Amino acid sequence: MKLGTWNVRSFYRAGSLKAAERELDVVGVQEVRWDKEGTVRAGDYNFFYWKGNKNHQLGTGFFVHRRSVSAVKRIEFISDRLSYIVLRGRWLHIFLVNVHAPSEEKSEELKDSFMRN
């Protein structure tokens, strides 16, 4: 199984979802920036996503290739910055955590707040 992560910088722009197709089985994405949550078909992938905030910021999701979607046991969206997926493995389950942490250019207050929560 091939895994990856991608900060898409926004699926809020028209046509940007098509650009997300990759040769990976599972891709964790950050900065989805949509104003709702759900699942959508995107080429050979199912895209499970959670909403960003009211300003179309943040939001996380997972692209799961159709050959691997049967391995999905659970997907949880904790907040607009944190989610996880549990995949059925051959001998044990695979637990992937998707976190969108504040970057270096963000204020110290924001980074401290993120680390405390």
Which domain CATH number covers 12?
3.60.10.10
Task: Report how many domains make up the chain.
Answer: 1
Q: Distance between CA 115 and CA 77 in Å, rounded?
A: 18
Average pLDDT taken over every residue of the chain? 77
Percent of the chain past pLDDT 90, that is, above it, reads 23
Structural domain including 68 reads 3-116
- Enumerate the β-bridge partners of residue 47: 40, 63
pLDDT at 9: 60
pTM metric for this prediction: 0.72
Residue 60 CB: number of other CB atoms within 10 A? Answer: 25
